[in-house]
Amino acid sequence: MKRGGIVLFHKHNLHSSLPNRSARLRWSADLRYHRAGQPSGRPAFPGFIARSQADPRRELRDPAVWRTLWENARTAILAGAHGGVIFADDRWSDPAVC
């Protein structure tokens, strides 16, 4: 992927990237749509409500707030302050997929 590009995958697509051999942190955005309150499989990263017919006041509409959430997550991860699983990759344990 070139810088600034986008690629979309179905959740059953096997995919990965080459190892990051640079001295810089490499970010990707993994956006998933599911009911509010369900675990995303990425406990170190912030969740937010994009749309809610039931309670539109809970929708995150301020990009500065979104950016702050992600910057705080990055800071906690790099500082070792998260204290738990950063990425829970259990999608291949689903018998319907494997």
The residues near 58 (Cβ < 8 Å, ≥ 6 apart) are: 36, 49, 52
Q: Across residues 14-35, what is the average pLDDT? A: 79
Backbone φ, ψ for residue 80 (5° rounding): 75, 15
Average pLDDT, the chain: 80
pLDDT grade for 16, boundaries at 50, 70 and 90: confident
Instruction: Give the model confidence (pLDDT) of 36-82 as tens digits.
Output: 778 777 788 888 888 889 899 999 999 999 999 989 998 988 888 87
> For residue 42, what pLDDT is reported?
78
> Pick from 70, 68, 50: which is nearest to 59 by CA?
50
> For residue 72, what pLDDT is reported?
92
What's the pTM?
0.57
Supply 84's token pair: 């738990």
The Cα 23–Cα 70 span in angstroms is: 20
Question: For the chain, first and last CA: distance in Å?
Answer: 27
> For residue 98, what pLDDT is reported?
44
CA dihedral 65, 52, 77, 25 (to 10 degrees): -70
What DSSP character marks residue 64?
Answer: H
